[in-house]
Amino acid sequence: MHSRPFDSLPQPTVPAMHEPGPAGQPFPSPGTPVIHGVNWQGLKTLYLKEVRRFFKVQLQTIWAPAITTLLFLAIFLVAIGGVKREVLGVPFAAFLAPGLIMMGMAQNSFANTLSSLIIAKVQGTIVDVLSPPLSTSEVLSALVAGAVTRAWLVGLAIWAAMLAWPGVPVSLTQPGLVLLFGTLGATLLALMGVLTGIWADKFDHGAAVTNFVVQPLTLLSGTFYAIERLPAALQTVSMANPFFYMIDGFRAGFIGVSEANPTVGALMLAALCVALWAAAHALFESGWKLRA
């Protein structure tokens, strides 16, 4: 029996990438983009992943912050006793409540993006965020949108509880301002959380920024007092704090009175959001502390 050379044996045919596929659609050639424009499906998937991540532990991520904020309200109302104190021409309770809502929203927006990135880096699952066919802008959009969603859920939970609180008026006078400053503030803190999450190597680093940056800026932003009562020097310092404009504008949507010009505050917050977005985008593109 004579054997045929291997080269003479019939070889299986492998379809080229440009030949029709099983469904009759041609496969794209190597290097040819498949997704054009925005990857809406990928963006939606990452956003839903972020929302489901915090919603699975909603007692910790939504209801616990709401209860903590209500405790702040109770403590301060008890501290002033039954005195009919007014701030900016409105009862102290009406002045205090919106600031507490915005404070809770801001802190939880920051915590959401920060925890998402640190957990992904520590567990080694950051590759699941970087590998899919998503642009840097799409990844940032999904992370920030998830944080803003959590912030608004926390804010709505606090607001609903305050509606049932006797003697605490939280009716809206300018809903547009509430929506604008609530979203701008949550976006600003979400981007701060992204930058911190990129830089942090462990949970201690994130806690340090929370305790020494976010908390002081929040507590010294006029949440519990009107800055008009401060000495001139401290008023100047307070006016340089972007958190002041966030809380002042948000409060104005409830009580109809603000200490700063809402237009100036909104423009400042928007400019900061753009600057932080650009910084986060550049760091994501470089892969600094994200790619091994």
pLDDT digits (tens, 9 = 90+) for 174-214: 999 999 999 999 999 999 999 999 999 999 999 999 999 99
| Percent of the chain whose pLDDT exceeds 70 | 87
| CA 251 to centroid of chain Cα atoms | 20
Q: What is residue 190's predicted lDDT score, i.e. its pLDDT?
A: 97
- Looking at residue 126, its amino acid is I
Q: Using CB atoms within 10 Å of the CB of residue 119, give its burial: 0 to 12 exposed, 13 to 18 middle, 19+ buried.
A: middle
| Other beta carbons less than 10 A from residue 59's beta carbon | 9
Tell whether the model's pLDDT for residue 269 goes beyond 90.
yes
Domain boundaries, the chain: 40-286
Tell me the HSE value of 106 on the side-chain side, using a 13 A CA sphere.
31
Q: Which residues sit opposite 20 in a β-bridge?
A: 26
Within 13 Å and on the Cβ side, how many CA atoms surround 241? 22
Q: What percentage of the chain has pLDDT greater than the value 90?
A: 60
Check if the beta carbon of residue 101 is closer than 8 Å to that of residue 155.
yes
For residue 5, give both structure tokens: 């050379």
Distance, in Å, from the CA atom of 46 to the CA atom of 189, rounded to the nearest integer, reads: 19
Apex 65 CA angle, 212 and 56, nearest 5: 115
For 113-169, the pLDDT digits (tens) are: 999 999 999 988 898 888 888 899 999 999 999 999 999 999 999 999 998 888 788
The confidence score (pLDDT) of residue 6 equals 43
Contacts within 8 Å (CB) and 24+ apart, 9-15: none
Q: What is the pTM of this model?
A: 0.86
* Cα distance between residue 19 and residue 170, in whole Å: 65
Average pLDDT over residues 104-116: 95
Give yes or no for residue 235 having a pLDDT over 60: yes
Average pLDDT, the chain: 87
